[in-house]
Amino acid sequence: MSRKPFIAGNWKMNMTAESGAKLINELKPLVKDADCDVALCVPAILIPAMVKAAEDSNIKIGAENVHWAASGAFTGEISADMLKEYGVEYVIIGHSERRQYFGETDETVNKRLHTALNSGLKPIVCVGETLAEREAGETEKVLTRQLSEGLKGVEDIKKVVIAYEPVWAIGTGKTATNEQAQETIAFIRKKIGELFCPKCAEKVIIQYGGSMNAANCKGLMAQPDIDGGLIGGASLKLDFATIVNFDK
Ligand code: PEP
């Protein structure tokens, strides 16, 4: 079953309009022949400038979050229509930093996910265990909960990208081994098969995220169930192009 690889960057709270546009302009020629889908998820205020910088290229721009309501009294939040108005295609939902620092729960992940799908945004839903959970042997239990609650009620699971991001590997320089990442992502695919249907699970794009970089991307991407990467630190530099060209 062939799935088109998908490499996405997550700039988090980094870059300015000037430095972001400079990076995108440098990346454009380097990634133009990519065999995979390419996106950069950027801070909301940078979206218009980054969409403009990425014009006429294969780099799609994504957001780092979306609110579930269409509009209303939600100070500081951004709606799906606002994102779409500026040409956003992808949106990260339930990143572990949002779960850890901003009270994101499986329930709010699910609400944001439905809004994204209903408005035509392509969601990248993040799941992953903490170090304590892995060490306690609870990885599968945690992932099962995040998947069954977070994806509840989704009609077409093929429209959802899943990013498996072990929290202990994010921004730490500590990558999951190829085997750990493959084993856990295979578990996620199996679970999606049980929750939805095995045939659909074969079509779902599942990324690995957690200190993926220019040096380790090839090994991770060679794993049969790993369809791409969600890249934090390495998406802030030209290394992102090396990851996008992992198969060259
Ligand atoms: C992330 O933020 O999704 C991430 C994987 O970060 P890093 O690549 O820096 O570990």
| C-alpha separations of 84 from 43, 230, 245 in Å | 14, 21, 28
The finding on whether 120 has its CB within 6 A of some atom of ligand 1 is no
Name every residue whose Cβ is closer than 8 Å to that of residue 194 and which is 6 or more positions away in sequence: none
- Tell me the per-residue pLDDT of 133-188, one tens digit each, with 9 for 90 and over: 999 999 999 999 999 999 999 999 999 999 999 999 998 888 889 999 999 999 99
CA distance 27 to 37: 14
Index of the ligand 1 atom closest to the CA of residue 170? 10
Q: How far is CA 209 from the centre of its chain?
A: 8
The finding on whether 171 has its CB within 6 A of some atom of ligand 1 is yes
CA of 73 to the centre of ligand 1 (A): 31
**pLDDT for the residue numbered 230:** 98
DSSP 243: H
Name every residue whose Cβ is closer than 8 Å to that of residue 242 and which is 6 or more positions away in sequence: 214, 217
Helix (H) or strand (E) holding 9: strand 6-10
> Is the confidence at residue 18, as pLDDT, over 80?
yes
| C-alpha separations of 30 from 23, 26, 58, 127 in Å | 11, 7, 11, 30
CA distance 10 to 20: 12
225 half-sphere exposure, CB direction, 13 A CA radius? 20
The finding on whether 165 has its CB within 6 A of some atom of ligand 1 is yes
CA of 213 to the centre of ligand 1 (A): 10
Structure tokens at 192: 């999606």
Tell which residue, 105, 103, 104, 125, has the closest CA to residue 114: 125
- Tell me the per-residue pLDDT of 181-211, one tens digit each, with 9 for 90 and over: 999 999 999 999 999 999 999 999 999 999 9
Query: pTM surpassing 0.95?
Result: yes
- Tell me the per-residue pLDDT of 19-41, one tens digit each, with 9 for 90 and over: 999 999 999 999 999 999 999 99
The preferred substitution site among 92, 212, 235, 239 for testing ligand 1, maximizing ligand atoms within 8 Å of CB, is 212
* For ligand 1, atom 3: residue with the closest CA: 232
Q: Dihedrals φ, ψ of 225, to 5°?
A: -100, -5
CA of 211 to the centre of ligand 1 (A): 6
Average pLDDT over residues 57-81: 98
- Tell me the per-residue pLDDT of 90-99, one tens digit each, with 9 for 90 and over: 999 999 999 9
Which sequence positions are flagged as catalytic? 95, 165
DSSP per-residue string spanning 56-116: TSSEEEEES---SSSSSS-TT---HHHHHHTT--EEEES-HHHHHHS---HHHHHHHHHHH
The finding on whether 123 has its CB within 6 A of some atom of ligand 1 is no
- Tell me the per-residue pLDDT of 3-17, one tens digit each, with 9 for 90 and over: 999 999 999 999 999
Locate the domains of the chain by residue range. Answer: 6-244
CA distance 97 to 75: 20
CA distance 3 to 205: 7
* For ligand 1, atom 8: residue with the closest CA: 232
Expressed in angstroms, the distance from the first to the final Cα of the chain is 21
Average pLDDT of the chain to the nearest whole number: 97
Tell which residue, 121, 209, 130, has the closest CA to residue 163: 209
The preferred substitution site among 96, 165, 216, 237 for testing ligand 1, maximizing ligand atoms within 8 Å of CB, is 165
* For ligand 1, atom 2: residue with the closest CA: 232
| C-alpha separations of 75 from 43, 69, 94 in Å | 16, 12, 19
* For ligand 1, atom 6: residue with the closest CA: 232
- Per CATH, the number for 6-244 is 3.20.20.70
Identify the three-state secondary structure at position 175.
Answer: coil
